[in-house]
Amino acid sequence: MIFRIYSLFPEFFESPLKCGLLGKAITGGLIDVSVVDIRSYSLNKHKRCDDYPYGGGSGMVIMPEPLFAAFEANETGDSKVIYMSPSGRLLNQGVVKRLSKEKEISILCGNYEGIDQRVIDSFVDEEISIGDYVLSGGEFAALILLDSVARYVPGFMSNEESLIEESFESDLLEYPQWTRPAEFRGHKVPDVLLSGDHDKIKNWRHEKRIEKTRLKRPDLYKKYLERLLLRE
């Protein structure tokens, strides 16, 4: 799977793209990630890419010229172009799974007060937000989108069954986890997990997922119940 990130600050990605499962997937050729430096396409001798907004207002807006040049130099028409924006559709597991079916994704990082609307109208297929809050730059959001989607690439996860059991799959949170030692400072691991009875463990974990979702995410629990009713 191919990812392309457009950013004013490409150095932001240097360390994250070398770490953990993401770095391993890149090194192993499971995914291809390139970062396009928007400033390199600026016609300004100082590589300036922003200007004051028409109509007044605070802050600066990323200009169309460097972005048009960057897209025209790097896009082939096969990529789904996503703009990370607080105005976009909220990112959730359903969106992640849908995007994981794409062969190529280009991610545009917004900065300052945003980007010139003509860029959005000309190149962007979808706007996505990671939440109802504001960040200092779209680079943070781009990394979240990249990692969440890349995890669905076959071979990315050492145990792909974990994708099925994770939080938000089937509208349920993940069950609680324990590891060695079996007893620590008076706190014991539940007996069922030590029983070796895989059917009992599976059923117990499912019940814990339901309980945890009901207590911590009643909104998800409601969706879960609605989905059960549709099956009947």
**Does 171 lie in the same domain as 73?**
no
Identify the pLDDT of residue 166.
Answer: 67
Condensed to tens digits (0 to 9), the pLDDT of residues 155-193 reads 999 877 777 666 677 889 999 999 999 999 999 999 999
Q: What is the dihedral angle through the alpha carbons of 106, 109, 113, 115, rounded to the nearest 10 degrees?
A: -30
Structural domain includes residue 157: no
Identify the pLDDT of residue 231.
Answer: 81
**Does 178 lie in the same domain as 142?**
no
Contacts of 52 (CB under 8 A, 6+ apart): 60, 61
Q: Which residue has the tokens 């499912």?
A: 206
Q: What is the dihedral angle through the alpha carbons of 156, 159, 161, 166, rounded to the nearest 10 degrees?
A: -80
Q: Which residue has the tokens 């986890």?
A: 177
If one counts the domains in the chain, the total is 2
Boundary (domain end) residue, out of 123, 150, 177:
150
Closest CA to 35 of 127, 106, 112, 134: 106
Could you tell me the CA-to-CA distances from 18 to 23, 25, 27 in Å, in that order?
4, 9, 8
Q: Which residue positions in the chain have pLDDT lower than 50?
A: none
State the Cα–Cα distance between residues 24 and 210, nearest whole angstrom: 34
Structural domain includes residue 155: no
**Does 217 lie in the same domain as 130?**
no
**Does 126 lie in the same domain as 35?**
yes
Q: What is the CATH number of the domain that holds 121?
A: 3.40.1280.10
Position 227, amino acid:
R
Structural domain includes residue 156: no
State the Cα–Cα distance between residues 209 and 176, nearest whole angstrom: 8
Residue 133 tokens read as 């809050």
Identify the pLDDT of residue 42.
Answer: 96
Condensed to tens digits (0 to 9), the pLDDT of residues 69-96 reads 999 999 999 999 999 999 999 999 999 9
Q: pTM of the predicted model, to two decimals?
A: 0.89
**Does 181 lie in the same domain as 102?**
no
Boundary (domain end) residue, out of 97, 125, 150:
150
**Does 141 lie in the same domain as 206?**
no
**Does 191 lie in the same domain as 130?**
no
Question: What domain range is 200 assigned to?
Answer: 162-231
**Does 184 lie in the same domain as 133?**
no
- Cβ atoms 109, 81 nearer than 8 A: no
